Amino acid sequence: MSSITSSLYHRLTDPINQISAASVVLAIVLIAYFLASFTELSALQKAYNTFKPYATFAYSCFFKPHTGDGTGNQQDALESFYSSQASVYDATRTKLLQGREDMLALVAAQMKYRREQGQITQKPIWVDVGGGTGWNIEHMQEQLDVPTFFHAVYLVDFSTSLCEIARERFKRLGWKNVHVICEDARIFRLSDYEAGVDGTKRDFSIGQSIYNEDARDTVGADLLTMSYSLSMIPEFHPAIDSVTNLLAPNGIVGVVDFYVQNQIEFSGRNYMGGAIDRHCMWISRVFWRTWFELDRVNLDSARRDYMEYKFGTIISTNRRANVLGFRIPYYIFVGCTRRTGAMLLNEVAELDAAVTESPFISALDLQQQTLHPKKRRSSSSERRSKMYDTAVINLASSLPLPAAYYQNSKTRIYYDHTLPKHTQFNDEYIYAFTWEDSRTDARLLKITNEDVILAITSAGDNILSYALERPKRIHAVDLNPAQNNLLELKVAAFRALEHPDMWKLFGEGKHENFQKLLVEQLSPYLSSQAFDYWLHVGPQTFDPKGKGFYFTGGSRHALQLVHWLGSLLGVRKDMNRLCEAQTLAEQREIWTKRVRRVLLSQLLAYFVIGSERFLWKALGVPGEQRAMIEEDYQRASSDRSPTSAAEKSSGTGQPGEVGATKSGQAIWNYGVQTLDPVANDTLVSEDNHYYLVCLLGHYTRRCHPDYLTPKAHLKLSAPDALSNLRIHTDELAEVFARMQPEALTIAVLMDSMDWFPPSGPEAPAQVLAVNRALKIGGRVLIRSSGLSPWYIRVFEEAGFAARRVAARVPPGTCTDRVNMYASTWICTKVAGVVDAGEKGEGA
């Protein structure tokens, strides 16, 4: 100890150190003098007022001891923390407590939806648990008129200092229907404050099951919110239990709070509504949990987990608050009451019937099958969807149902987003627009209101075209979840937006307020997975300062290449002129003299478009489809009769089998046979939006898909106009296999059959599944890159009559406005075929 004192004495008496210390003091004095001399007093006062709240916040959070900790009383601990900073609480929490506005907007959108649908017939009651200073309630005014929309609003908080600030706030605002209750959230009951309730029914029952109706408060809250309060409650289990029993049967709960979690903890759950960015890195988990514990804020994942267990998930999303360069994890949860009993069983059965096109089975029958699973009917009538199987498992395990069951619209069918077959797409759609001519489809299929259609989703444009014909049902199927997220967004836009906003999103591909639209208007009509996806990628996708929606997804590579080549080789203006040409003669001249030499460059075909990676990433062309193109080209080159060559089966070889040079020539020739007829026979500026969007990156008022017309918007935005749509995220074979036999009348397979290897069992299995699902006389629409694809014989052997309805024969023929495929086929079911597996099951 003496050595330390001696060392300190020598340092202080050292003349050099003394001069240094004097210099620092002098510098501080001079700086203070100049600031006082050349700065107005009002500016100094303003700087002081700005700095003071943050200094108070820093002292209270990081230096001031919690004097209430020793007593073990939670209210004393809260007062120790909040009393000194209550007056500056709101000023210092704006940047830290992010997501509150979004949570309020989301629950407000749900409340508006329920009122419009007649689910809320009286003025609702809102309880804000841990509402603190009342910031949430005042800011809800941006979404709903709090004094007139709500019958009553209760702010419940255990801090007397914060409650006093809240009372002053609502006195200033003059809101008579807002009540500030300083009480433990675990014992708060609405029946204690709402008049007209029998006092004998007010016995609180902590620990009673949610499924026991007697455990519920006799007066329920229609809206219940918790904003950064759950993490402040030490005993969170009874708090969540009381909140659960407080919520009305048709109520909404909204939570926003900090969290940290490892993906191992939630990887096996199917009811949490999506997991984009839910996993936190280990350093983030350790650092933020430790840091927040200093202020008695607990980030353990059990709080959020228990909340999700007690409620049904409507929306769940994970975000990061950017504060001074740090990214603090927080989540937003919007949920509802978990339903039980016969009503829920009926809903499960009804949804399953709609998915599988099966007759409706009563709740009693469903319950009997659940209790006695061995008593099963024959497989010919026992067709169950994956959502049904999952529901049975969850109900047997006392778990909430998947989020798909709690959506306002049951359009999107449950799927397991964690499976490798879904994650292989890395949360990116390939197609931002559909490469199928809807006009040709309508002519070939002649859709009526008795048709039940199954089609590949792609970008959803054709699904919406089919919907305009008002068929009985449409099943949209895609293995890529992002493609179905895109269709969901378009469907939600019809249900929630006016035509001008719809046009901005999908006509121009840009919108200045996408996130606001998503949160406030579209969210009630989206599944949790789709909402979470678009909240993460949507603002950048539709950013007005960006290139726009059509420059996203895998197809963006093709558009970017076209635009890059146009600029590099000086034909960008000519491409624009091509999109403005008034006549075919003018268009042909521009195409032939300027644009063709760039887009149909052999060098480009050999080294870029002809590469396997580009074909897959940009155009969605797998190796098997490429082999068809190569084989047809090789056969046409060696056979002097194009008609004879076209009659031979194509696609029996392997990709690249013809050699690199021949492969490049084949791709180049395919491009020539695609684009030349289009330029010669279709007017891009007025009647070919498929190529116009590739050249411009957006549509025009003169040329766009049918679903973007004001007339189509009026038709598809009508109530229940799209209620006949079901969106499946799965393989075609899986969806066909779970369909009731002879349920479909139309199957639109696009070019999906091109993807199967000729030697594998996939194609025969799918054809048999299609046969079983189609009625006699049902039609299958197929497009192929081959003139005579090998699998047509498989269809013919399995009870179909195949007819080629379009082909690029002779060369130069334009089959439709896209002309991307060498042939188009209609296969009509003329006979049923039962495979050996079904015979065995039926026995």
Closest CA to 49 of 76, 87, 94, 3: 87
Co-location of 568 and 662 in the same domain? yes
By DSSP bridging, strand 221-227 and strand 247-258 are: parallel
Dihedrals phi, psi of 127, to nearest 5 degrees: -120, 120
Q: Of 56-70, 84-98, 822-836, which gets the smallest average pLDDT?
A: 56-70
Is the residue at 662 inside a domain? yes
Q: What is the pLDDT of residue 421?
A: 92
Co-location of 146 and 161 in the same domain? yes
Co-location of 263 and 119 in the same domain? yes
Is the residue at 450 inside a domain? no
Co-location of 278 and 300 in the same domain? yes
Looking at residues 593-601, what average pLDDT do you find? Answer: 83
Q: What band does 355 get if pLDDT is binned at 50, 70 and 90?
A: confident
| % of the chain beyond a pLDDT of 70 | 76
Q: What band does 210 get if pLDDT is binned at 50, 70 and 90?
A: very low
Specify which residues 725 forms β-bridges with: 474
Q: What band does 599 get if pLDDT is binned at 50, 70 and 90?
A: confident
Looking at residues 583-596, what average pLDDT do you find? Answer: 92
Average pLDDT of every residue of the chain:
82
Q: What band does 840 get if pLDDT is binned at 50, 70 and 90?
A: very low
Co-location of 36 and 177 in the same domain? no
Residue that is last in its domain, among 294, 313, 337: 337
Q: Of 312-326, 347-361, 452-466, which gets the smallest average pLDDT?
A: 347-361
Looking at residues 140-153, what average pLDDT do you find? Answer: 96
Co-location of 199 and 270 in the same domain? yes
Q: What band does 35 get if pLDDT is binned at 50, 70 and 90?
A: low
Structure tokens that stand for 699 in this block? 């549509």
Residue that is last in its domain, among 86, 106, 131: 86
Is the residue at 724 inside a domain? no
Q: Report the chain's C-alpha Rg in angstroms.
A: 33
Dihedrals phi, psi of 451, to nearest 5 degrees: -80, 140
Is the residue at 513 inside a domain? no
Q: Would you say residue 838 has pLDDT above 60? A: no
Co-location of 228 and 115 in the same domain? yes
Q: What band does 639 get if pLDDT is binned at 50, 70 and 90?
A: low
| Contact indicator for 301, 309 with CB cutoff of 8 Å | no
Give the number of domains in the chain.
4
Is the residue at 231 inside a domain? yes
Co-location of 177 and 36 in the same domain? no
Co-location of 574 and 688 in the same domain? yes
- Helices within 619-688 (DSSP H only): 623-638, 642-646, 660-681, 684-687
Q: What is the pLDDT of residue 40?
A: 61
Q: Report the distance separating Cα 518 and Cα 80, nearest Å.
A: 40
Largest Cα separation within the chain, whole Å, is 108
Q: What band does 204 get if pLDDT is binned at 50, 70 and 90?
A: very low
| Contact indicator for 310, 244 with CB cutoff of 8 Å | yes
| More confident of the two residues 496 and 418 | 496
Interval 717-772: pLDDT, tens = 999 899 999 999 999 988 998 889 999 999 999 888 988 888 889 899 999 999 99
Q: How far from chain centre, in Å, is Cα 254?
A: 19
CATH number for the domain harbouring residue 309: 3.40.50.150
Q: Would you say residue 565 has pLDDT above 70? A: yes
Co-location of 101 and 207 in the same domain? yes
Q: What is the pLDDT of residue 36?
A: 60
Interval 642-665: pLDDT, tens = 555 455 665 565 555 554 556 677
Q: Would you say residue 618 has pLDDT above 50? A: no
* Listed ranges 88-97, 116-125, 504-513; the one with the highest mean pLDDT: 504-513
* Listed ranges 16-20, 617-621, 783-787; the one with the highest mean pLDDT: 783-787
Q: Report the distance separating Cα 278 and Cα 529, nearest Å.
A: 13
Q: Would you say residue 78 has pLDDT above 70? A: no
Is the residue at 25 inside a domain? yes
Q: Would you say residue 8 has pLDDT above 60? A: no
Q: Would you say residue 703 has pLDDT above 70? A: yes
Q: Report the distance separating Cα 701 and Cα 723, nearest Å.
A: 28
What single string gives the DSSP state of each residue in 383-416?
Answer: ---HHHHHHHHHHHTTPPPPGGGGSSS--BPP--
| More confident of the two residues 298 and 644 | 298
Number of alpha carbons in the 13 Å side-chain half-sphere of residue 270 = 21
Q: What is the pLDDT of residue 206?
A: 31
Interval 377-411: pLDDT, tens = 444 456 788 888 888 888 888 899 999 899 998 89
Co-location of 173 and 103 in the same domain? yes
Structure tokens that stand for 592 in this block? 């032939």
Number of alpha carbons in the 13 Å side-chain half-sphere of residue 201 = 14
Residue ranges making up the domain that contains 347: 342-402
Q: What is the pLDDT of residue 363?
A: 45
Is the residue at 618 inside a domain? yes
| More confident of the two residues 339 and 553 | 553
Is the residue at 349 inside a domain? yes
Q: Is the dihedral of CA 351, 354, 357, 358 positive or negative?
A: positive
700-703 — which CB contacts under 8 Å span 24+ positions?
A: 700/579, 701/507
Looking at residues 206-212, what average pLDDT do you find? Answer: 38
| Contact indicator for 368, 345 with CB cutoff of 8 Å | no
Q: Would you say residue 488 has pLDDT above 60? A: yes
Q: What is the pLDDT of residue 286?
A: 92
Co-location of 158 and 304 in the same domain? yes
Q: Would you say residue 471 has pLDDT above 90? A: yes
Residue that is last in its domain, among 54, 86, 118: 86
